[in-house]
Structure 1
Amino acid sequence: MAELLDSIPEAAREELETYLNEDLRRAIVTTTTPIVDEDGRIYFDEIALRLVDGRKVAIVPEMRGKWPMLVLEINPGDGWRDMTVEEDYSEELEELTAAPGHQDADRRWENLARGLTGGDRG
């Protein structure tokens, strides 16, 4: 995108979350780093996945304030970095936030109204 949005509209965020959910559900686990504690509890340091489109991502823990959160990192070929919608779902973001009257955006919102999602994305 030529310019970053100040904030992503709620409807667009929800649709992007749907895309992410679909991508992760169809992903293949390629690497895990399980840790078995002395009391038998199982932990994971990270879980690496290959998305259907071939992108390599990892689910890793990160402290966000007082609470740990799981973060998606991506390796586009030049090292690992945090995954963002601006960089990694830019086409979808642009389509979802296009100015009213934009043909692709109109079609997307019509599909949303009918209950269709971006599941055909490869």
Structure 2
Amino acid sequence: MDPLSLSASAAGLLSLAIEVTKILTSYTSAVKSAPQDASELNTKILALGHILEKLVEILRIDHDAGTGGGTSFDEQSVLRSVMSACQEHIAAVYKRVAKLHSTDKVSSLVERMVWPLKKDEC
């Protein structure tokens, strides 16, 4: 996988992380008794988002400047493995918290009463 493809993958992961952050922010501000875990998870995902923004920026600059030197990130690449693992975890978190952002007022209220993740999952 070339740096540009990896940066596109990082950008996709970044957008998913941003969406999870929005949902968690909305949840923690709407529910006064929101678990501390939700706030901590939100902070961690915000930090991950910042790191991903920098990674995308660096990979794109290197690719545009031609300093990537033909770098390719194969299946055994640590960076690619970490990106893949992060993407799987963030997608799983998104799947679990997406129901907190429902447009249906009644089901949204019911879902917001129960935090969908256990402490160890956070």
Q: Scaled by the length of structure 2, what TM-score is found?
A: 0.29
Going by fraction, where is strand more abundant, 1 or 2? 1
Task: Give the structure, 1 or 2, with the largest relative contact order (CA under 8 Å, sep 6 or more).
Answer: 2
